[in-house]
Structure 1
């Protein structure tokens, strides 16, 4: 207020944001009493009305400090917004040990989790100690291969013919599984898919380049802020209503250090376009009308007895890693929701990061210290470059499920005291 930070103990009100919501609701009500008509009126006001106009006016002249450390103009216009509408899309899925697991399509990293399940479908996971070195090594190596395929082959399916059918096939999963050895791989190995050799080669060339220096300005994924000095966060929510309808959603996109607040609206713009590459001819190439390949990746599953499960987490490139561990514990180790979430977690940085400066850490494995010492020692002997995290610091998982007998259950991570499970 007045160009100064509020004094301690004083009230702060984002009046522009309050006015924005009031006006949006008023315009929706103007469409009458039909709920669907009101929703459509709100969408029109957002994408063609006063919201789009405010954004268009602001970005005509605004120059905003970004991750380069310099100020640049934006490229979004009101016409861009008017020409776009959200659509309904069928999820993608695989079957694993009697469960069906659904994810969003190739413009997200959702196929990573499904690919890992396909690679591991023939392994005796139930016979492995869930905190033992064999389990951690196998899951980590499968994720490395799946993330290499993410970088090579995933992107906007409305613009490019993605090889999703191949990536999620049992034959391809078995072929990729055969590439997992007894020691930690330090290579970046996208799978060989006929007709897509150029995409794979482009990824290999890209990941071989050293990442730019970290400018410290508005970079990184906000949910991983607990590992850095940069504040911020993403959200995830799983809800089941009294009729059994389930929602799994991971909203995110703008955070204040790199996202300008639009005057008159009180909200920041999305900054997910940083996921694009400027190289042409790739599924992640920047082009009009395309969606950036996002890290946001909510999940749903159904068990062989009809149990319905919604689950997910914030966490950038770690989202499908933590979700995979949770799901495997649930399916193969007979844990309940809270046990599967509370168990010690790990993730690898052996991938090209989705966020600037887009670096990669070959062989990296971050792991919580409540794994047995023998597990940590064995993983190190296999060549994993361990980074032992602070206790109870990895993962943001939440989950909700409906059992066939109608019982609703939910669980949330105790880590960092950020997540909650509630019922009524």
Structure 2
């Protein structure tokens, strides 16, 4: 089978990420004797520098890891809503949605503390060792990828007139970064140098230094600057000026945490995901809704795509009604055989243009007022494909950020998948002196009381971020994921089925072939990002999917938009064969930015 690149194979270590410099950094750490977790931390901080339009230190990250010989765990780097972020406060400002940008949309930052916890508990390297790569790129510069400049141009007026601290970094001499131009962020380099100096003053112990760094973030100079920035009023997507609710007390009280993953077993594969505070269980529901007789011969046929798309709509409808940090619906109910038999029966020969949440345990679903408006067609409808792939600018001028991903496996058998996001350069003004902005994850919460995903102080917003691990016979063998907001588990599912339903190559899974396979997404549910639009029945496919599939989907009632041949999905993946020790890796060719590395 033709692929854009080979599936890499080796026995020492494998990395895949959404930027080649992050992948090279992770390999450097592995070559220097570090393990997969050291490598992931170093690569993550490089991603903050080289993909600032896709993630930042004050964003969030769900991590799923499997230590060699150990049990998979989720490390949650999704911060909650601040204590002052109540529905009453937002509605008193005349809002019916949380803005898509600005400090009012900022949750408690979670990414930094999660990476520190990972380094402390599972890594072997010192703080200075893993941060030195990011410091070097921030201080001395890196060649800017094309989308950085495109994103800056989309918000140029805002940077020049109001977010001037952002203009200092991203509009040097009044020019946005040209593709390949050297882009520096000396403020960020200075932040990490000061952090290291303060951490090392605690003494020579590695773990003590990491703990000191966590305190600096939560209570020291970084926390002081973040709280001050959140208190300033600035223009957001509403067109009005608002201050945020994040305070020093919110920052001081947050800690990243471990939890058990949500799992589902399908034909010998056990998929592990973050829980119902994330989008992750959508993937598990997609698998649970597949027909029992789905086989390799069905793969990539019109009927295959139709079945998968319709199952995705049902899973996404359940996400809208039942997912959240305060849900009273157990995941077991959503994955139970009886419930999925009922839901599977709803998949007919014709495409559904409705939002049809289920009734797990006889419960009556309730949607937000905004979602009801979106479903009824009153709310603006997004253009097909909006928000997919790299950041886009909506018709109302608002910017949507995207995400990064990285996977690492080492020679000892440690695996990790992580999906860093938030804190985009277009989300909030750069915090003066720090070199990075606050995030905007609260935009995913509803301003209706009593919903699983209502805005509630101390509760995590339901995120779209969803890294994946797959196990065989109890051993973690595959780590994968993708950026893409609401599209993430649509692209993840198609990738995984391409691995699971097709023959291996060269003694390992056909990771590159599965990533290269023509992909798709549907917008037939309320989006997670401001302005929360929906396009009933819409499906966007890559043109490479073929005229036969396109015609077959249209005959079934899907409203098909044919996109560019390489426009859907930005997957990364690594794998390990526990019997042979052979490691594999592959990365997405779309956008010419993601790369795998290994030996």
Q: Same fold, TM exceeding 0.5?
A: yes
Question: CA, structure 1 residues 222+71, in 2 after alignment: closer, same or farther (shift >3 Å)?
Answer: farther
Residues in 2 aligned to 1:294 and 1:120: alpha-carbon distance in whole angstroms: 24
Instruction: Please name the residue that 1:190 is paired with.
Output: 357
Structure-1 residue corresponding to 2:581: 406
Q: Does 1:387 align with 2:387?
A: no
1:138 maps to which of 307, 310, 325:
307
CA contact 1:211–1:359 (8 Å) conserved in 2: no
Q: Deviations over 1:181-216 (max 9, x none)?
A: 011011110001246315358686354354655999
Q: Which one has a larger percent helix, Structure 1 or Structure 2?
A: 2
SS state of the match for residue 180, structure 1?
Answer: coil
Report if the CA contact (8 A) 1:153-1:162 is conserved. Answer: yes
Pick closer, same or farther for the CA change 1:171–1:34 going to 2, 3 Å.
farther
C-alpha contact (below 8 Å) 1:309/1:400 kept by paired residues: yes
CA contact (8 A) 2:321 2:365 kept: no
Aligned position for 2:459 = 290
By how many angstroms is 1:123 displaced?
Answer: 3.1
Q: Distance in 2 between matches of 1:88 and 1:264?
A: 31
RMSD of aligned alpha carbons? 2.6
Shift of residue 286, structure 1, vs aligned partner = 0.7
Structure 1 residue 423 corresponds to structure 2 residue 583: no
Displacement, 1:52?
Answer: 1.1
1:344 alignment partner in structure 2: 518
Alignment of 1:229-240 (within 5 A): 233-240=402-409
Matched residue SS, 2:573: strand
Whole-Å separation in 2 of the counterparts to 1:215 and 1:152: 21
* Matches for 1:244-263 after TM superposition, within 5 Å: 244-263=413-432
Distance, in Å, in 2 between the alignment partners of 1:11 and 1:385 is 43
Matched, 1:94 2:261: no
* Partner secondary structure for residue 32 of structure 1: coil
1:114 aligns with 2:284: yes
Partner residue, 1:21:
192
Give 1:345 shift.
0.5
Distance 1:215 1:395 in 2: 19
Alignment of 1:56-95 (within 5 A): 56-60=227-231, 62-95=232-265
Displacement, 1:384?
A: 0.3
- SS where residue 197 of structure 1 aligns? coil
**CA 1:232–1:274 in 2, change beyond 3 Å: closer, same or farther?**
closer
Partner of 1:40: 211
Judge which range, 80-89 or 220-229, deviates more. 220-229
**Distance 1:198-1:188 versus aligned 2 partners, 3 A rule:** closer
1:180 paired with 2:355, answer no
Alpha-carbon contact 1:246-1:310 (below 8 Å) kept: yes
Show the counterpart of 2:328.
161
**What is the DSSP-based 3-state SS (H/G/I as helix, E as strand, rest coil) of the residue aligned with 1:199?**
coil
Judged with a 3 Å threshold, the aligned counterparts in structure 2 of structure 1 residues 195 and 287 are, in CA distance, closer, same or farther, namely farther
Aligned 8 A contact 1:254 1:269 in 2: yes
Query: 2:440 maps to which residue?
Result: 271
Structure 1 CA distance for aligned equivalents of residues 536 and 486 of structure 2: 15
1:30 pairs with 2:205? no
2:427/2:439 contact within 8 Å kept? no
3-state SS, counterpart of residue 88 of structure 1: strand
Q: Structure 2 vs 1, CA of residues 351 and 258 (structure 1 numbering), >3 Å: closer, same or farther?
A: same
1:150-176 per-residue CA deviation (whole Å, 9 max, x = no partner) reads 0000011xx342331201222222221
Query: What is the CA–CA distance in structure 2 between the aligned matches of 1:214 and 1:144, rounded to whole Å?
Result: 17
2:225 matched to 1:54? yes
Distance 1:168 1:274, change over 3 A: same
TM-score normalized by the length of structure 2: 0.66
Matching residue of 1:319: 488
User: What is aligned with 1:377?
Assistant: 551
Which whole-Å deviations, capped at 9, do the CAs of 1:110-151 have from their partners, x for residues lacking one? 0000001111151323230x2210110000000000000000
Task: Give the stretch that moved more between structures: 37-46 or 390-399.
Answer: 37-46
Residue number among 242, 245, 252 corresponding to 2:411 in the alignment: 242
Please name the residue that 2:469 is paired with. Answer: 300
CA distance in 2, matches of 1:307, 1:281: 38
Structure 1 residues 215 and 365: CA distance shift in structure 2, 3 A = closer
Q: Work out whether residues 67 and 215 of structure 1, in 8 Å CA contact, stay in contact via their aligned partners in 2.
A: no
- Compared with structure 1, are the counterparts of its residues 348 and 400 closer, same or farther at alpha carbon in structure 2 (3 Å cutoff)? same
3-state SS of paired residue (2:296): helix
Q: Is the 8 A contact 1:253 1:271 kept in 2?
A: yes
- Cα shift at 1:48: 1.6
Secondary structure of the equivalent of 1:120? Answer: coil
What's 2:338 paired with? 171
Residue deviations 1:34-79 (CA, integer Å, cap 9, x gap):
222222111111112211111122233x112211122211111111
* Alpha-carbon distance in structure 1 between the residues aligned to 2:476 and 2:183: 45
Q: Report the count of equivalent residues.
A: 417
Q: Is the 8 A contact 1:349 1:361 kept in 2?
A: yes
**Corresponding residue number in structure 1 for 2:497:** 328
Any stretches of 5+ residues in structure 2 without a counterpart? 1-163, 505-509
The farther-off stretch of 81-90 and 8-17 is: 8-17
Tell me if structure 1 keeps the 8 A contact 2:382–2:535.
Answer: no
**Contact 2:382–2:533 at 8 Å: present in 1 too?**
no
